[in-house]
Amino acid sequence: MWIEQLDASHALDYRALMLEAYDLHPQAFTSSVRERAAMPLSWWESRLTSQLDVVLGAFEEGKLAGIVGLAFEPREKARHKATLFGLYVSGKVRQRGLGQQLVQAALAEAQNHQGLRLIQLTVTAGNEAAFNLYQRCGFIQFGLEPMAVRVGEDYFDKIHMWREI
Ligand SMILES: CC(C)(COP(=O)(O)OP(=O)(O)OC[C@H]1O[C@@H](n2cnc3c(N)ncnc32)[C@H](O)[C@@H]1OP(=O)(O)O)[C@@H](O)C(=O)NCCC(=O)NCCS
């Protein structure tokens, strides 16, 4: 297993893994599989080449099996903050520490960015696997956003967490 930053050459695999994530876990992500499947490959490439995003991939037996992203803030007064997004580990390779290693790799990446002081994220209330993982990695809950996402007829709250770096 290894973790590396993804670039435009990974766009097809990145797209496939994220569409799998949105499809299998609609409550965990704000994007829907329908709206993301409609995006052209160039949109996925731009996500991997943007100056404001870093996307890290975990490769298992040479295949992309896990993902995490960090989004940086362009505005001067918010540049001390980054947002962790899009954490996903494919079902076959879960519960082997990949998720934690991806979050740790994102934290290490954040430490390379001068002036960055904190990382924030949101996790759907009730997603114990992700919430526990974030807590293990030092994230603390600071808020709860009621009815943050609607999936079908159901509404889900989002827990807001942060961690100093
Ligand atoms: C949340 C998610 C990323 C976790 O990925 P993962 O690779 O399974 O994470 P880890 O292996 O680091 O930890 C998961 C569990 O496995 C356990 N574990 C880790 N290594 C282990 C090992 N070698 N043997 C047994 N258990 C192990 C961890 O202790 C943890 O247990 P817990 O859930 O009881 O706290 C994954 O479940 C996922 O992609 N879920 C769907 C999408 C999602 O919810 N994303 C988060 C959006 S905010």
Q: What is the pLDDT of residues 114-148, one digit of tens each?
A: 999 999 999 999 999 999 999 999 999 999 999 99
Give strand pairing partners of 67: 57, 88
- Which residue has tokens 């001067």? 76
Q: For residue 79, how many other CB atoms are within 10 A of its CB?
A: 15
Ligand 1 atom nearest residue 98's Cα = 7
Closest protein CA for atom 5 of ligand 1: 99
- Which residue has tokens 């973790």? 3
What's the half-sphere exposure (Cβ side, CA atoms, 13 Å) at 105?
21
Distance 2 CA to ligand 1 centre (A): 17
- Residues with Cβ within 6 A of ligand 1? 21, 25, 28, 87-89, 94-100, 123, 127, 129-130, 132-133
Closest protein CA for atom 27 of ligand 1: 95
Q: Map out the domains of the chain with their CATH numbers.
A: 2-120 (3.40.630.30)
pLDDT digits (tens, 9 = 90+) for 61-93: 999 999 999 999 999 999 999 999 999 999 999
State the average pLDDT over residues 148-152. 96
CA angle 22/28/31 to nearest 5° reads 50
Arithmetic mean of pLDDT over the chain:
97
pLDDT for position 59: 98
For ligand 1, mutation pick of 29, 89, 132, 151 (most atoms within 8 Å of CB)? 89
pTM for the model stands at: 0.96
Distance 121 CA to ligand 1 centre (A): 17
Going by the DSSP 8-state scheme, the letter that residue 108 receives in this structure is H
Q: For residue 58, how many other CB atoms are within 10 A of its CB?
A: 23
Q: Tokens at residue 89, please?
A: 């580990």
DSSP string of 126-162, one letter each residue: T-HHHHHHHHHTT-EEEEEEEEEEEETTEEEEEEEEE
Distance 110 CA to ligand 1 centre (A): 21
Enumerate helices (H) and strands (E) in the chain, giving the number of each. 5, 7
What's the half-sphere exposure (Cβ side, CA atoms, 13 Å) at 155?
5
